[in-house]
Amino acid sequence: MIHALDIAGMVCPNNVFLAPMAGYTNYPFRKMCMRLGAGLTFTEMVSAKGLHFGNEETKTLLYCGQERPKAAQIFGSDPEIMREACESEALAPFDLIDINMGCPMPKVTRNGEGSALMSDMPLAEKVIEACVRSGKRISVKFRTGPDESKKVTAEFAKLCEGAGACMITVHGRTRDKIHAGPADYGEIAAAKQAVGIPVVANGGIWNPKDVKKMYERTGADAFMVARAALYRPQTFCDILEGEEPSALELFLGQLRETRELYGERFACVHMRKMAAFYIKGRPGSNRWKRRLFETETTEALEALAEEIFRENG
């Protein structure tokens, strides 16, 4: 169930991956999750058009270190701009490029990108083929379909493999569900049975029991941890049976690395949000959240974090 995974010659030390999450999987967070055992991490989704037009903020999302292997996720619907992005210097450090065909957010789908591509299979195929022509390893992340009345998981999985993708990730929910409801094990299993390339299962994985259940019901080759990693980065330790650092140690390390890389103001604002994830469900979390969002400096945030975690362990 848990094992090393070869993806077109890229060997991951294990098959428990960190999902790409917009606004959260920046370099310090990815680096921390790799330290905790994640076998592969993905950047936040990056606009191919942003790279095409030289947007500096877009390039910032691709900051990375020397850790290997590593993957970037891009989105777009213009095949040639997507190919250009894959061939760009900005994506050169990455071992795998993942195409986002699952984002359900209107600001993405109204441009025909993200999960909108599942409703235009000929264009989706052209996008994948163009990216494959770049010579990079290409994977695709997608959902089970637009809604419950039109699930196309197996068909879309075959399309991805036929167009040259070396791996697919299936988020086991339809576009209209966003993150609500249980993952559809049957649809993920259908994708696994339809293709010969590795299939990563995404959706509803919070602990080792969820991984076991996902494997037994789908036969997936790998498992993607998403929101669970935000609330509890040690989820990777739980699944992989690794040594578990304290929440305070992880938070302070992430805060300091975020500040070093992105500066004081970004670190303060971003890590207030991360702290809210860390303490969700803990006694007095609402009281702590009010104090967190009144914090104006990372120094004050460090002091408050020590107070919070002393009380909550």
DSSP 79-102: HHHHHHHHHSGGGTT-SEEEEEE-
**CA nearest 170: which of 209, 205, 140?**
140
Residue appearing with tokens 């739980």: 238
Confidence at residue 282, expressed as pLDDT on a 0 to 100 scale: 76
Q: What is the pTM of this model?
A: 0.94
Q: Which of 255, 195, 208 is nearest to 235 (CA)?
A: 208
The confidence score (pLDDT) of residue 113 equals 95
The CATH class for the domain spanning 5-240 reads alpha beta
Does 31 have pLDDT greater than 80?
yes
19: DSSP letter: P
pLDDT of residue 255: 97
Please check the confidence at residue 312 and state whether its pLDDT lies above 80: no
pLDDT, tens only, 105-135: 899 999 999 999 999 999 999 999 999 999 9
Q: Are 11 and 69 in contact (CB under 8 A)?
A: yes
Query: Which CATH class for the 247-312 domain?
Result: mainly alpha
Residue 242: closest CA among 86, 95, 34, 52: 34
More confidently predicted of 94 and 309: 94
Verify whether residue 103 is a known catalytic residue. yes
313: pLDDT strictly greater than 60: no
Spatial separation of the C-alpha atoms in residues 282 and 305, rounded to whole Å: 13
What CA–CA distance (Å, rounded) separates 182 from 1? 21
Residue 16 has pLDDT above 80, yes or no: yes
- The answer to whether residue 283 scores a pLDDT higher than 80 is no
Q: Pairing between strand 16-18 and 40-47?
A: parallel
Is the pLDDT reported for residue 293 higher than 90? no
**If pLDDT is split at 50, 70 and 90, which confidence band does 311 have?**
low
Query: Of residues 182 and 6, which shows the higher confidence score?
Result: 6
Domain ranges for the chain: 5-240, 247-312
Q: Report d(CA 218, CA 172) in Å as an integer.
A: 11
- The pLDDT, as a whole number, for residue 54 is 87
Segment 39-87, tens digit of pLDDT? 999 999 999 999 999 888 888 899 999 999 999 999 999 999 999 999 9
Q: What is the pLDDT of residue 149?
A: 75
Q: Helix crossing, 298-312 with 264-279: angle to 10°?
A: 10
Residues for the chain: how many in total?
313
Burial of 144 (0-12, 13-18, 19+ CB in 10 A): buried
Q: What is the pLDDT of residue 11?
A: 97
Closest CA to 152 of 124, 110, 181: 124
Q: What is the DSSP letter of 152?
A: -
Q: Which of 122-136, 254-268, 279-293 has the lowest mean pLDDT?
A: 279-293
Average pLDDT over the chain reads 94
One of 12, 33, 103, 166 is an active-site residue; which one? 103
